[in-house]
Amino acid sequence: MKARRIWTLLMTLMLLIASAPLALAATTMELTVSSQAALDKTIAAASSTQQTAIKGLQLDLVIIGQKEQALDGSIRSVHYKNEAELLALRSRIKQIDADTIKKLEKQVQEMKERYKPLFSLYTTLNQQITAAKGIKNKDLNALLRAQADTAKLAVHFARQDIKAQESLLTAAKKSAKAAKKRIQETLSGMGTLNIRIKSARSEAAASKKRIAPLLAAFKQAIKKTQVKETLDSLTSIVAHSRQITVHKQAILNLENQISGIINKAKAQLPSIR
C-alpha cells in the first residue's frame, strides 16, 4: 500500500512536469513546441531507467527554479530594507547630540557677550592706571587701583563661568564624537560582508554563464534523439542551477547579517536628550 502511494505521487509529479514547459531556474529558457516534441521523442526512445532520470531532472529544475525565484525575492526585500534603514541611521548619526551642542554653543556665545562690557571696563581701568602713573595724584591712583582690583575679581569669576560653560560644550562634543565612532566601528563590519556578497554574485553569474553552452548541447541532443547526451547535459544543467541557488542563499545569509549589524548600530544610538 505504501509503495502504491509513492508510485502515485511520483506519477503525479511526472505529469506535472510533462504538462509544463521545461524551466531552467530563473535563467531558464522555455522549450519551443518543436523542441518539446523532440524532447518527448527522446524520452520515448530512452529506457525506463533513463526516462525516470530525465523526468527526475526536469522536476529538479522546476524545484530549483522556484527556490531561486524565492531567494531573489527575499534578497531584494532584505537588501532594500537594509539600504533604507542604513540611510536613516546615517542621518541619525549626524544628529547625535546636535541640539545639545547647538544649545551649549549658543549659551557660551551669550555668556561671552554678557561679560564683554566687564572685560572692556577692566581693560580701560588698566589703561587709565598706566596713563595715571605720570600724574602725581595719589588719590586718583588709589581710586583707579581699587576699581581695577574689584573689576579683576569680577573678571576672574566671569572667566570661570565661561570656562565652565565651554567645558560642558567640549564634553558634549567629545561624547557625540565617541558615540559616532562606536557606531561607525560597528557599521564597518559590513565592509567584509559586502565584499563576500559581491564575490557570491560573481560566482552565481559564472554558474549561469556555464549553463548557456549546456543548453545548446541539450537542444542539439534532443534534436538528434540522443538519450545519453540529453541526460548528461541535463545533469550538468541541474548541477550548475543548484550551485546558483547555493550562492544566492549565501547572499541572503550575508544580507541578513548586515541587518544584524544595522540593528546593533541602531541600539548604540544614544537616547535623545
Helix axes 98-132, 138-187, angle to 10 degrees: 160
Tell me: do 169 and 153 sit in the same domain. Answer: yes
Tell me: do 87 and 107 sit in the same domain. Answer: no
Count: domains in the chain = 2
Q: So what's the pLDDT on residue 21?
A: 38
17 part of a folded domain? no
Q: So what's the pLDDT on residue 3?
A: 39
Amino acid at 32: T
Tell me: do 89 and 212 sit in the same domain. Answer: yes
Tell me: do 208 and 76 sit in the same domain. Answer: yes
Tell me: do 105 and 82 sit in the same domain. Answer: no
Tell me: do 80 and 211 sit in the same domain. Answer: yes
Q: In the numeric block, which cell numbers belong to residue 118?
A: 566687564
Q: So what's the pLDDT on residue 244?
A: 96
181 part of a folded domain? yes
Q: So what's the pLDDT on residue 219?
A: 93
Tell me: do 253 and 142 sit in the same domain. Answer: no
Q: So what's the pLDDT on residue 271?
A: 74
Phi, psi for residue 225 in degrees, rounded to 5: 55, 45
Can you tell me the distance from the alpha carbon of 18 to that of 1, in angstroms, rounded to the nearest whole number? 26
Contact indicator for 249, 203 with CB cutoff of 8 Å: no
Residue where a domain stops, chosen among 140, 165, 186 = 186
pLDDT tens digits, the chain, 273 residues: what are they? Answer: 443 443 344 444 444 334 333 433 444 556 788 888 989 999 999 999 999 999 999 999 999 999 999 999 999 999 999 999 999 999 999 999 999 999 999 999 999 999 999 999 988 888 888 877 767 777 777 887 888 888 899 999 999 999 999 999 999 999 999 999 999 999 999 999 999 999 999 999 999 999 999 999 999 999 999 999 999 999 999 999 999 999 999 999 999 999 999 999 999 998 754
Can you tell me the distance from the alpha carbon of 165 to that of 239, in angstroms, rounded to the nearest whole number? 70
Tell me: do 150 and 207 sit in the same domain. Answer: no
6 part of a folded domain? no
188-220 per-position pLDDT tens digit = 999 999 999 999 999 999 999 999 999 999 999
Q: So what's the pLDDT on residue 126?
A: 84
Amino acid at 213: P
Which structural domain, as residue segments, surrounds residue 237?
40-94+191-267
Contact indicator for 46, 56 with CB cutoff of 8 Å: no
Tell me: do 201 and 234 sit in the same domain. Answer: yes
Residue where a domain stops, chosen among 165, 186, 207 = 186
